[in-house]
Homo-oligomer: A and B are copies of this chain.
Amino acid sequence: MFFTTKAEYGVRLLIELGRQPQDQPISLKAIADAENLPLAYLERIVALLKRADLVESTRGAHGGYQLARAAEDIVMDEVVLALEGSLAPMECFVDDRSDDGRVLCSHHDDSGRGCATKLLWTRVQVGVLRTLSQTTLAELVEFQSGKVPPAREPAPAPSPV
């Protein structure tokens, strides 16, 4: 399991917001009902999205949430990072952003050789990051609306487990 339900629920929430007409906030309650998710839990999740400036809130009666930008400009790496807090494939990865995802393995580096698994986990992280950064919220909204995107998969996926 790479991701928790935080990511799942958070992305669903964003998709729901993306389906709404612009500039009209929708309440969390409405989303919780539509997606059949626990309201109290959603509250904590949307807080993460707000802190990352992905959604905006309007307080008071008839308040709610709306996207902070156009769905086309919301890229999923930012979303998942905001929701999960980290995209490190392994414990020993300190978080990126300042640098670019460095390793500090438990047995620091014995006898001068670098950490054996560093190469592998770094590749995985780069792969995930690239995948996420190539998907926008707008795409997901379209996908859910029934328009299946034109099956873009040029390389025949060498070994689809």
Compute how far the CA of A124 lies from the CA of B91 in the bound complex, rounded to whole angstroms.
20
Given contacts A117-B11, A120-B11, A140-B117, contact A3 B89 (CB under 8 A): yes
What 0/1 pattern do residues 109 to 130 of A give for CB contact below 8 A with B?
0100110111111011011111
Compute how far the CA of A159 lies from the CA of B7 in the bound complex, rounded to whole angstroms.
20
Given contacts A120-B76, A127-B131, contact A97 B161 (CB under 8 A): yes
Q: At the interface with chain B, which of A41-49, A52-60, A61-69, A80-88? A: A80-88
Given contacts A77-B161, A116-B15, A161-B153, contact A92 B131 (CB under 8 A): no
Q: Which A residues lie at the B interface, using CB under 8 A? A: 1-5, 7-8, 11-12, 15, 34-36, 75-77, 81, 86-92, 96-97, 100-101, 106-107, 110, 113-114, 116-121, 123-124, 126-135, 139-140, 143-146, 149, 152-155, 157-161
Q: Please list 19 pairs of residues, one from A and one from B, whose beta carbons are closer than 8 Å in the complex, sorted by A's number.
A: A2-B89, A2-B90, A8-B92, A11-B117, A35-B110, A76-B120, A100-B160, A113-B144, A114-B143, A116-B140, A119-B149, A123-B134, A124-B131, A127-B127, A130-B160, A133-B161, A134-B158, A134-B160, A154-B158
